[in-house]
Amino acid sequence: MSDKILLNIAGVNKRFGGLQALTDVGIKIMEGQIYGLIGPNGAGKTTFFNVITGLYQPDTGTFELAGKPYSPSAPHEVAKAGIARTFQNIRLFGEMTALENVMVGCHVRTHQGVFGAVFRHKAARQEEAMIRRRAQELLDFVGIGEFAKRTSKFLSYGDQRRLEIARALATDPKLLALDEPAAGMNATEKLALRELLVKIKNEGKTVLLIEHDVKLMMGLCDRITVLEYGKPIAEGLPAEIQQNPAVIAAYLGTAH
Ligand SMILES: Nc1ncnc2c1ncn2[C@@H]1O[C@H](COP(=O)(O)OP(=O)(O)OP(=O)(O)O)[C@@H](O)[C@H]1O
């Protein structure tokens, strides 16, 4: 882990009509960290995620990635800035193969435009071959290389989640943002996911994740922020978070 700040967000407020969904929320993630965002249902985790990744417009807030201000005004701008994300509900191109899904992610970073693709210039063909190789590498990396040609909707649930991560990695992001990657997974799949996230971290990537499985988060994250009713109530090492009276009260006060 380095001592460089990768993502620095401060003063985010977001209101939906009469509901103040986020109040002065900030986050500081160092390069190479696995950073967790937790909190009871309705705490504002997804809203904050959606703001960071350009899906919701914040009312206020400052946003910096790798020392440069970025504007979370639209998802494609955020992707260009270097943040890739997955969603709570799997969003793959179900009719495409696993390989094709990852190739779509790779295209975010390629140079040949529509003209090149249509006329199949030599450069475009070479780039296509390179993308294919890179996509296969990523499938191998997340552990589903053997299913490259399988239509993605026929993959198991856990493998679809892996495929989403491979597709996000294909954009070569500075930050990988995962929204509840373990949702719906059984214990074996969760264990495998944990191993994959450690592997991603060991490759030098920085990861931000929202997850309901607090036990998984405690064992995995370098630091954690806890939200309750749209406000940050604690930030720190997992061991500190676990002992924090406000966090314990927030969780005991809900169905968790
Ligand atoms: N598009 C929206 N319009 C209006 N209210 C919204 C919208 N999105 C979220 N909210 C409200 O904002 C609050 C925070 O919701 P959010 O989904 O961010 O919480 P969460 O911590 O992600 O919850 P969960 O763990 O259940 O996914 C909730 O009261 C929710 O009803």
100 inside domain: yes
Is the ipTM beyond the 0.85 threshold? yes
Going by CA atoms, what residue is nearest to atom 12 of ligand 1? 21
What was the pLDDT predicted at 255? 45
Domain end among 149, 172, 195: 172
On whether both 106 and 31 belong to a single domain, the answer is no
Going by CA atoms, what residue is nearest to atom 28 of ligand 1? 42
On whether both 77 and 202 belong to a single domain, the answer is yes
Atom of ligand 1 nearest to the CA of 44: 18
Domain end among 110, 137, 172: 172
On whether both 113 and 165 belong to a single domain, the answer is yes
User: What is the tally of structural domains in the chain?
Assistant: 2
All residue ranges of the chain with pLDDT < 50 are 255-256
On whether both 39 and 164 belong to a single domain, the answer is no
Atom of ligand 1 nearest to the CA of 88: 27
Report how far residue 181's alpha carbon sits from residue 200's, in angstroms, rounded to the nearest whole number: 14
On whether both 196 and 70 belong to a single domain, the answer is yes
User: What range defines the domain where residue 97 resides?
Assistant: 92-172
On whether both 7 and 77 belong to a single domain, the answer is yes
Q: What's the first-to-final CA gap in the chain, in angstroms?
A: 32
Of 12, 15, 16, 211, which is best to mutate to test ligand 1, by the most ligand atoms within 8 angstroms of its C-beta? 16
On whether both 256 and 196 belong to a single domain, the answer is yes
| Residue 52 alpha carbon to ligand 1 centre in Å | 15
Going by CA atoms, what residue is nearest to atom 7 of ligand 1? 16
Domain end among 152, 172, 192: 172
Report how far residue 9's alpha carbon sits from residue 16's, in angstroms, rounded to the nearest whole number: 20
On whether both 74 and 55 belong to a single domain, the answer is yes
Tell me the DSSP string of 102-116: HHHHHGGG----HHH
What was the pLDDT predicted at 130? 86
87 inside domain: no
pTM over cut 0.95: no
140 inside domain: yes
Residue 18 has φ and ψ, to the nearest 5°, of -85, 0
